[in-house]
A = this chain, B = another copy of it.
């Protein structure tokens, strides 16, 4: 295409509404425009990126035996009522009625539709496993849609559902998807990590999130720096290494100490001149069933996801001042496990390894010293409830963990029989016995992947597309549109590149070279070819590599080969 004909409306100004990098750059570079809050039109260059991502996804899923289908976006309420989700899904579900008053929703996900489909069409174990997927618009009525494509109300997802006869089969399907996802994001040219994520249930590593690494990422992850090990987890899910051994110091006599105005760990540590690592941090929570005192070492933080899972509750909230006073007899900041009755005590293993520790006395302005867990209090439950941070040892190999921020672009998840049981979807096994399908679900945010690619690949001048998903590989820029020779040479190079399969545009606009260079940097073409009078006099043009920042002069008759070689090095 010629840039003069492309719908590629670049902007000088940063749109006020855009808070994150990808949102700002995709608007500024002319990749998309807002149609309504959280709803966008993707312009030609964005759509080229999306088609490339979709193609990679299709190839990798088909390679694993995936079968592509297309389910409706408009879903009848009846199926959601059968699964029980119609009433619990809440205001994020877009709902509508047809002209006859029947209820529908716009699918945020398709477990109901696919389970009902397979229930009707698959009845023998011989037809399993089955991997069915689609690439399609999804809908979620976010209360506050923002961040452009990162949290929209209408967005493109790939969703795949696996159907197996048993858990062993599900493991196989899950591993296939793990491999497919790894290939997809690698082939998209992205730096990413699959991380163990929280599945909302105790134990098991039955869900992974695929995180594109980016400083602006909304999630914190930790990963092992030992490449061989490869352990990586969402911070909220990372397992703590249990303490090697208990502190074997002789147990001293407990004592209550007046600690005026010492409410924080830091204040107490300063008061006693000890490390917070020798203190017990006690936080009071409430669930729908009980009041809980959760304990971690004074230098640690409680991981509420782990605590939530450990308590097997529906609702977990940090207790308010009033509840804390009722439960402990003191203000928050003076809670401690000793003589605390009517409250469930949950301790992290590290707490149990302490000797002669300091904790709150359940009395305002007082702490206890020389507290020895097991002697002075006995927890109801000892389990890993703390947040793991960068620098701690890897739970698998012991190497120090590294921290990073990431953007979730995919998740793979073992559903088990949740939906097949709810919807009565069964098959006959080898013995003719009806059994529920064992399911998995696997999502990739397609538009989100494009946005994440921008978050990861940009500089102050604009986007730097990975060559694998770049909308075009090359832009050819004649530095003056008034010089016929430059224009003709640019046209020739442009045609030669396209004939050679290099996706190229030529910037034929009657604008100054500076404007064109700025736009080229903003849009993020991997290679810019500058056709200038001086170079041309020597029979050369300039190749500028956007990511590398390199500039090389190339003889005219070597342009195509050089570009192809450079693109190949870049990963094309």
Contacts and interface: CB of A to CB of B under 8 A. Distances in A.
Contacts of A39: 72, 74, 76
B72 A41 contact: yes
A7 B121 contact: yes
Question: This chain: how many copies in the complex?
Answer: 2
Interface stretch (A91-99, A414-422, A526-534): A91-99
A291 interface: no
A7 B161 CA distance: 13
A35 B107 CA distance: 13
Contacts of A92: 99
A36 interface: yes
Contacts of A48: 68
B74 A154 contact: yes
Nearest to A145: B98
A427 interface: no
Q: Which of the listed residues A33, A76, A122, A132 has the most CB atoms from chain B within 10 Å of its own CB? A: A33
Contacts of A7: 67, 69, 121-122, 127, 130, 132
Contacts of A116: 35
A65 B96 contact: no
B71 A127 contact: no
A517 interface: no
A72 B6 CA distance: 20
Given A69-B47, A71-B41, A117-B41, A5 B127 contact: yes
A77 to B, nearest CB: 9
A331 B71 CA distance: 56
Contacts of A122: 7, 9
A43 B72 contact: no
Interface of A: 1, 4-7, 9, 33, 35-36, 39-44, 46-48, 50-51, 65, 67-76, 91-92, 94-96, 98-99, 102, 104, 106, 113, 116-117, 120-122, 126-127, 130, 132, 137, 139, 141, 143, 153-154
A75 B153 CA distance: 12
A70 B106 CA distance: 18
B96 A94 contact: yes
B94 A95 contact: no
Contact of A36 (B35, B40, B104, B137): B104
A43 B46 CA distance: 28
Given A44-B67, A69-B44, A126-B4, A74 B36 contact: yes
